[in-house]
Amino acid sequence: MGQRAAGLPDFPWDQLEPVKAQAARHPDGLVDLSVGTPVDPVPPVVQAALAASTDTPGYPMTAGGAGLREAIRSWCVRRCDASAEGLAVLPTIGSKELVAWLPTLLGLGPGDIVVVPSVCYPTYEVGARLAGAEVVRSDSLTALGPSGRVGLIWVNSPGNPTGQVLPAAHLRKVVEWARQRGAVVASDECYHALGWEDQPISVLSDEVCGADHAGLLAVHSLSKRSNLAGYRAGFVAGDPGIVADLLAVRKHAGMIVPAPVQAAMVAALGDEEHVAVQRRRYAGRRERLRTALTGAGLRITHSTAGLYLWASRDEDCWSTADWFAARGILVAPGSFYGPAGRSHVRIALTASDDRVAAAVDRLG
């Protein structure tokens, strides 16, 4: 089945190639602030764990080894304020594959509705379309009324691309609304470790769910907190019944995290020192870029957590992207993330210190 036959949108980054080519013509080279790809080293403690586990000739467990499951569960209790009782966990091959396939894995299809944030990561919509489900953005949610067709609700805090943090009261309302309709709430919390002015709260927190994980899934990634994008290391935690169903399908499909990566995940989840080091790196880049952007007349919206600055010149996002490209800087147009993002651009903190310095100099 071709891409268009599947009803999928064009891959957004392909649309950015002409702007990238323009930015690359800068005499001092391209500064790419368009993608959230880590550029800093993988922590030594993680590299060592991976290297020590390379002699693993047998098939690993789809559910994850006992050590990994305990590491994930313990981390959720420590960092997400989750109750250990009734908390199921499952490793995933990064978080994007779970986001893309979750509607299908949950058995959703034509006639079902997947609710996504008004401005959000494009893969939420892609996943719904792969399953044949209908997509409704959260700013249109009131029009649904008491619809029982809602099967899945995505929330994302800290948000990509906006950096917005949803307070506990908002998350509680989402959980209550979903439970009244028998829908699953999937909370994408991949930037959970990167709170700046606001501190993120997990949907698994007792403050949000009252120690009841029914109908809830929290999706996490080690790509951002531990620079493990190349390892494809993530996990989902929450409702035991739903996690068991996901595991059953994933066993059949061979969706297994490799054993060396599982060992690396145990090491990463058990060490917070490297996370603190990486936070300091991002905090410094964020402060320098934010100061330069506001000095150049851009307005920063939300951006109180996460890896991005959500910025606007109060014009069409593609015009803003061209403005940056003329200075040799590549940013992501806000329209990639939904119609409501068309006057903003997303600026990533994931560039080396010297490239951030170059961007600051050009903006000044």
> Is residue 323, in this structure, part of any structural domain at all?
yes
Q: Give me the residue label for tokens 């949610």.
A: 141
From 228, 251, 271, the end of a domain falls on 271
How many domains are contained in the chain?
Answer: 2
* Same domain for 299 and 168: no
> Is residue 85, in this structure, part of any structural domain at all?
yes
- Mean pLDDT, rounded, for 4-14: 67
Closest alpha carbon to 285 in 345, 207, 199, 355 = 355
| Token couple for 31 | 């500064």
From 238, 271, 304, the end of a domain falls on 271
Task: Tell me what percent of the residues of the chain surpass a pLDDT of 70.
Answer: 97
The whole-angstrom separation of Cα 191 and Cα 94 is 13
pLDDT beyond 90 at 54: yes
| Token couple for 257 | 């995290």
The whole-angstrom separation of Cα 120 and Cα 5 is 24
* Same domain for 81 and 23: no
pLDDT beyond 80 at 3: no
* Same domain for 293 and 266: no
Q: Give me the pLDDT at residue 141, please.
A: 72
> Is residue 50, in this structure, part of any structural domain at all?
no
From 220, 246, 271, the end of a domain falls on 271
* Same domain for 290 and 267: no
Provide the pairing of β-strand 308-312 with 332-333: unpaired
> Is residue 47, in this structure, part of any structural domain at all?
no
**Each residue of 215-251: pLDDT tens digit?**
999 999 999 999 999 999 999 999 999 999 999 999 9
The whole-angstrom separation of Cα 364 and Cα 360 is 6
* Same domain for 333 and 188: no
* Same domain for 170 and 86: yes
CATH of residue 355's domain is: 3.90.1150.10
* Same domain for 212 and 146: yes
CB–CB of 75/69 below 8 Å? no
| Token couple for 90 | 């499952």
DSSP classification of residue 309:
E
Q: Give me the pLDDT at residue 1, please.
A: 42
* Same domain for 333 and 217: no
CB–CB of 362/327 below 8 Å? yes
* Same domain for 262 and 322: no
**Each residue of 56-97: pLDDT tens digit?**
999 999 999 999 999 999 999 999 999 999 999 999 999 999
Mean model confidence pLDDT for the chain: 95
* Same domain for 280 and 244: no
CATH of residue 116's domain is: 3.40.640.10
CB–CB of 171/157 below 8 Å? yes
**All residues at 6 or more sequence positions from 132 whose CB lies less than 8 Å from its CB, including other chains:** 109, 110
This prediction's pTM: 0.94
Q: How many CB atoms lie within 10 A of CB 314?
A: 10
| pLDDT confidence band for 6 (50 / 70 / 90) | low
> Is residue 304, in this structure, part of any structural domain at all?
yes
Q: Which domain covers residue 191, as residue numbers?
A: 55-271
> Is residue 48, in this structure, part of any structural domain at all?
no
> Is residue 4, in this structure, part of any structural domain at all?
no
| pLDDT confidence band for 55 (50 / 70 / 90) | very high
> Is residue 5, in this structure, part of any structural domain at all?
no
pLDDT beyond 80 at 9: no
Backbone dihedral angles phi then psi of residue 319, each to the nearest 5 degrees: -65, -40
Provide the pairing of β-strand 308-312 with 329-330: unpaired
* Same domain for 178 and 68: yes
The whole-angstrom separation of Cα 186 and Cα 184 is 6
Closest alpha carbon to 78 in 225, 261, 247, 202 = 202
**Each residue of 252-285: pLDDT tens digit?**
999 999 999 999 999 999 999 999 999 999 999 9
* Same domain for 237 and 320: no
